[in-house]
Amino acid sequence: MAIVTIVGTSGMTVQVTVEGARMQTLASSYAQQILGAVATGDLSSVDLVAGGNNEPTGTNSLVQGVITTGGAFALSGNYTNLVIGAQGGAVDGAAQDTPVPPLSSPVTVNGAGMTGSSLSILAGNTAGVSFYAGSYDGKFVSTMGNNLFNAQGQKGDWTIATGDGDDTIIGSDGVNNIRAG
């Protein structure tokens, strides 16, 4: 197993454990997108808490929601990215790349209130992620665990990739590119 480190919120990182070359490539691509936005000062990251969350504020083009605990979450507003993983060390700190155990509590995300046109999701959770999409395009990459992706009755085109685990994938009414692990 490998670990991909993502810039999180409040000067901290999020670690996503990945299994296999395909999952590592997809997770690394997500990490590079976030690093690019950090370099240009164009990233807003929001710690999400179980339950409902306020819409993010700011004018940055990348708005990332960050989940590092288990529970049920609701997205509303103009998020462009969502990362689900274990809380890592401080950005640029000595412990930034020190491995931590993967997130191991179930996470459920209701994305129906998301108002953006596209959402990119990277998740690494041994207990699995259940994601309920709204009518927008997106990418759902879950590197491990038993996952549920449900976009039934929603518009939008999705790319869905999962790692090892037993996954249930219900595509949208748009074009779905599914690569189950």
pLDDT at 134: 96
- Please, which residues have CB within 8 angstroms of residue 142's CB and are 6 or more apart in sequence? 121, 123, 124, 125, 128, 129, 149, 161, 162, 163, 165, 167
The position carrying tokens 């207990």 is 127
| 62-116 per-position pLDDT tens digit | 999 999 999 999 999 999 999 999 999 888 887 777 889 999 999 999 999 999 9
Say what the pLDDT of residue 91 is. Answer: 87
Q: Count the Cβ atoms, other than its own, within 10 Å of residue 28.
A: 15
- Model pTM? 0.94
Q: Give the residue with greater pLDDT, 48 vs 1.
A: 48
Single-letter residue type at 138? G
Question: Residue 109, Cα to own-chain centre: how many angstroms?
Answer: 10
Residues found in the chain: 181
Q: Per residue in 5-48, pLDDT tens?
A: 999 988 899 999 998 888 899 999 999 999 999 999 999 999 99
Kindly indicate the confidence band of residue 57, based on its pLDDT and cuts at 50, 70 and 90. confident
Can you give the pLDDT at residue 174? Answer: 96
The pLDDT of residue 157 is: 98
Q: Would you state the pLDDT for residue 54?
A: 75
State pLDDT tens for residues 113-149. 999 999 999 999 999 999 999 999 999 999 999 999 9
